[in-house]
Homo-oligomer: A and B are copies of this chain.
């Protein structure tokens, strides 16, 4: 069969050009973590990266790592946390398809995993950034990067900030990857760039024993005696796969992903019999902050109704806006609360009365008025019994002119990447449809299904990518 990425059998391999313990496919944060972990305990590693240099989507990201359970950074910033509270939050927030067993392992190992980043010389400034949830604009090291403080999660788990951010101004993914790739280069791992893995190779008994990779017009066979780790990203840049599996995500304007996020890692895995799950899911961020004070507005849908407490993390806000409101959302503010968000959002309508604003927005007659009347009635007492927005953001919207910021998918920024991928267990082993590990095959990062499914908090991707990649490397060498 000539299917792209199809599995090749050992019998058809004439000779092996290279041999190693572990082949790592893709040098984003997961691939780097796997290589570092394996070489640390003496394993031989070849890392294959199709781009001219490593980094992948990780290097383009904010660099936030979701960690907790009482890390030294949390303690230095004066926050208490425990693996149990972290677990409660993640299980509650990570969506219907999240795997509690993997979440448990992740929370229990989180403090150790933080120390591992320190070992890789990743710096964290022990200062908490208090101004909003998300990626801090300065060098501060700790931030809320989820909905921990928002209803209902603040009722289910003691909130703690868990966004651990490498110390640099602005987007920290570049620094993070410089440090991790530096550690790989300092190890005895071999990195081959400009090399594209085209096929996995299986032994006659079904074990994955190597890869066929193309570099400079030639095909190479590389034997991996301990296993192959697929860490080649997601598929946000594969239009056909998006259309087939997650067409709604195509509505989002800003795709977060390196060119390599074309699903090739997932395809290599499924061609080898691994099960892909949750391919319909994405992380969908609708940033309306900073500044945080914009949360005093109310978000309404095409029926003029609120649909969420506006102070949830912008990842959750985006999911609700896309999945439940069809990407038709407007943020309503009055004269006293109006503020222009830093992420550009157009003022799409202004009215001297709510009725006028409603008409300008094309909302059903009386709908926005009814919503605001109810909201204001409770807001007089700083309460929001309908959606339970935190009282600090609840204030009556009474003072004209009223304005609406455009938060529709058509006209505003929704940042999206895929969360679905190969199903893995706590050891990072890729599982088949019977939930049985495929010998020799591992997956990590967005080639594997995320811990969040969807229910995203920032830092989960780099977090689960590095955490389970390390486990994969360790399992491959020790099993």
Residues of A whose CB lies within 8 Å of any CB of B are: 1, 3-6, 96-97, 205-206, 240, 244-245, 247-248, 267, 270-271, 273, 275, 277-278, 280, 303-306, 323-324, 364-367, 370-371, 373-374, 377-378, 385-387, 423, 432-436
Contact = CB atoms under 8 A, between A and B. Distances in A.
Given A1-B205, A280-B280, A433-B3, A97 B366 contact: no
Counted per complex, copies of this chain come to 2
Given A248-B96, A277-B245, A304 B423 contact: no
Contacts of A432: 3
B365 A434 contact: no
Given A206-B1, A434-B3, A435-B240, A385 B370 contact: no
Nearest to A280: B280
Which of A1, A270, A423 neighbours the largest number of chain B CB atoms within 10 Å of its CB?
A1
Contact of A97 (B206, B247, B270): B247
Nearest to A304: B386
Contact of A366 (B3, B271, B374): B374
Contacts of A370: 370-371, 373-374
A275 B70 CA distance: 43
A378 B364 CA distance: 11
A278 B280 CA distance: 8
Give the top 6 A-B pairs by smallest Cβ distance, nearest first. Answer: A1-B206, A370-B374, A364-B385, A364-B386, A96-B247, A324-B324
8 contacts: A3-B434, A267-B433, A270-B433, A303-B386, A303-B387, A323-B324, A366-B378, A366-B385
Contacts of A436: 3
Given A245-B277, A277-B245, A323-B323, A434 B4 contact: yes
Given A245-B278, A267-B433, 18 more contacts: A1-B205, A1-B206, A3-B434, A3-B436, A96-B247, A96-B248, A240-B435, A244-B275, A244-B423, A245-B277, A323-B323, A323-B324, A364-B386, A365-B378, A366-B377, A367-B374, A370-B370, A370-B373
